[in-house]
Structure 1
Amino acid sequence: ILTCLYPPEVPRDCHELWESSAGKAPNGVYLIRPADALIAAYCAMQEGGWTVIQHITVNGSVDFDRLWDEYKVGFGSLTGNHWLGNEYIHQLTSGSVRYKLGIKLVDEDAVTKMGEYDPVLVEGEDAQYRLRLGLYHGTAVDALTLEPESYLHDNQRFTTKDHDNDNYFQNCARLEFQGVAGGGWWYDACAGANLNRRNVIYWQKDCNKEHLCKYAWMMVKPSDMVKVVHSDCKRDEL
């Protein structure tokens, strides 16, 4: 017999909300509890209950050239351009449930490309929020786990302008293009992809200075490969 406390007062992520609403909850900002603390997050409900961890508009007003502590707790507007926060991304992806990472890119002609990495794990601050990625599939180029010109973002630590953890002789987050610094990212030496540079959204051949993209999103939700088991469940012995 499996005894559970249903429903939890605050869901762990947007996907729990999506499931509890039978897929009818609207897009918007909701309270979630990935660990001990309550946080607000934007939920892409119409796309299946994804928790949005990043959204950027090319040449938008939100500055992504931020310090380590700002990337840790997040910044920007949840209904617009923002970074949810490395600590919360870590909490979401490091629990007992396996998560996947979704990437959504929209170019100037409104052509949308998608990609998923399954699983995804962002390690804790003691590991500098290192990114761990699994298998990829999607219509966008795999720009994170392939290795074009030694730009491999998988297994890289997070770098900001005041925390240099990349593999380049300079700080990749400080390097500028058209007067705009790179922003925080999981750099190698330096980037085959970077969704946190305001003036050019970069994703190899899909988004670059020749083929401009207008919007990018990063999202997480539980993997389709595993069954979600609530942590507040306990088994009663017969």
Structure 2
Amino acid sequence: MKTPISWLAAVGLLLCAAGVSMEHLKAENLNVIPPDQHNLVLNPGMKVLPRDCYEMLMTSSGKARDGVYLIKPGDSPIVAYCAMQEGGWTVVQHITVNSSVNFDRTWAEYKQGFGDVTGDHWLGNEYLHQLTRGPGRYKLGVKLVDQDAITKMGEYDPVLVEDESSGYRLRLGLFQGTTVDALTLDTENYLHDNQKFTTKDKDNDNYFQNCAKLEFQGVPGGGWWYDACAGANLNRRNVIYWQKDCNKERLCKYAWMMVRPSDTVKLVYSGDCKKDEL
């Protein structure tokens, strides 16, 4: 039986045939990928970069695999982790409970991003703004995994993170999913929708203290779209909090936040010898 050429090798052949140079990696947020991991970027030589992971998936006819890609949602390229098998989501946040990555960061750090894009990280508020401002409509996905390996997913459609002059305010549309709606339901003054972003050095919340500085078991809350203060917070690294789904009694191990264009079809490619499934 003839051995199929891997998708990555095929892309390499196409790039060479098109005369694309595999030059040094250029991205505005190289701080979120260690220098010894630059070789993990799967499309380093593309001359015309996709604006997000979904566009990259479509460019590859649905065959791109999970991993780190160069995308260009604004004027400059950035690196981002793409969840291709789940339908081309651009991952903007990932956290593991008791992560070694510190999420107690400044406004500037939350703006530009931090952590390791292949693991726990925050992609950056500026890039969240660039991705969600369009030109098309975007939606926000939240994925939670508890200590029993039960996975829940919720989506807000549409989503918009406004620009820095507006405090990176979060705007959310209708919710659907298996998680509770912890962002747009007003539960004891915990309405995260329409809130500005707060960090330890920039207090934009509605509480008399800075919510990002409030500690639980010695760990500050981290940056978030606080109200007074939180019905959800995926940036507190000792307790992932999402109302009744994730809290100090019901522990969650992992959380992800992702964005993708609205009204898309999920393509699941199962190999050359099997039928593709919708």
State the TM-score, normalizing by the size of structure 2. Answer: 0.78
Whether 1:140 aligns to 2:179 is: yes
In 1, the alpha carbon distance for the partners of 2:61 and 2:97 equals 34
Cα distance, 1:96 vs structure 2? 1.3
> Which among 44, 59, 83 is matched to residue 44 of structure 1?
83
In 2, the alpha carbon distance for the partners of 1:60 and 1:216 equals 11
Per-residue CA deviations over 1:82-133 (Å, capped at 9, x if unaligned) read: 0000000000001211000000000000000000000000000000000000
Matched with 1:167 is 206
Cα distance, 1:21 vs structure 2? 1.4
Alignment of 1:20-99 (within 5 A): 20-99=59-138
Cα distance, 1:58 vs structure 2? 0.1
**C-alpha RMSD over aligned residues:** 1.3
Cα distance, 1:20 vs structure 2? 1.4
Whether 1:118 aligns to 2:150 is: no
Cα distance, 1:24 vs structure 2? 1.3
Runs of 4+ in 1 over 6 A off after TM superposition: none
In 2, the alpha carbon distance for the partners of 1:147 and 1:23 equals 39
In 2, the alpha carbon distance for the partners of 1:200 and 1:60 equals 10
Instruction: Find the residue that maps to 1:69 and give its secondary structure.
Output: helix
Cα distance, 1:8 vs structure 2? 7.2
Number of residue pairs the alignment of both structures matches: 220
In 2, the alpha carbon distance for the partners of 1:178 and 1:198 equals 11
In 2, the alpha carbon distance for the partners of 1:146 and 1:196 equals 19
> Which among 175, 185, 190 is matched to residue 151 of structure 1?
190
AA in 1 matched with 2:171: R
Instruction: Find the residue that maps to 2:85 and give its secondary structure.
Output: helix
In 2, the alpha carbon distance for the partners of 1:147 and 1:103 equals 18
Instruction: Find the residue that maps to 1:88 and give its secondary structure.
Output: helix
What percentage of residue pairs aligned between the two structures are identical?
A: 77
AA in 1 matched with 2:195: Q
Cα distance, 1:214 vs structure 2? 0.1
Per-residue CA deviations over 1:177-225 (Å, capped at 9, x if unaligned) read: 0100000000000000000000000000000000000000000000017
Whether 1:209 aligns to 2:248 is: yes
Cα distance, 1:22 vs structure 2? 2.0
Matched with 2:143 is 104
Instruction: Find the residue that maps to 1:220 and give its secondary structure.
Output: strand
In 2, the alpha carbon distance for the partners of 1:23 and 1:56 equals 27
In 1, the alpha carbon distance for the partners of 2:169 and 2:99 equals 27
- Relative CO higher for 1 or 2, CA cutoff 8 Å, sep ≥ 6? 1
Bigger Cα Rg: 2
State the TM-score, normalizing by the size of structure 1. Answer: 0.91
The range that moved more, 189-198 or 8-17, is 8-17
In 1, the alpha carbon distance for the partners of 2:144 and 2:252 equals 7
Greater strand share, structure number = 1
Unpaired runs of at least 5, structure 2: 1-45, 265-278
In 2, the alpha carbon distance for the partners of 1:191 and 1:42 equals 27
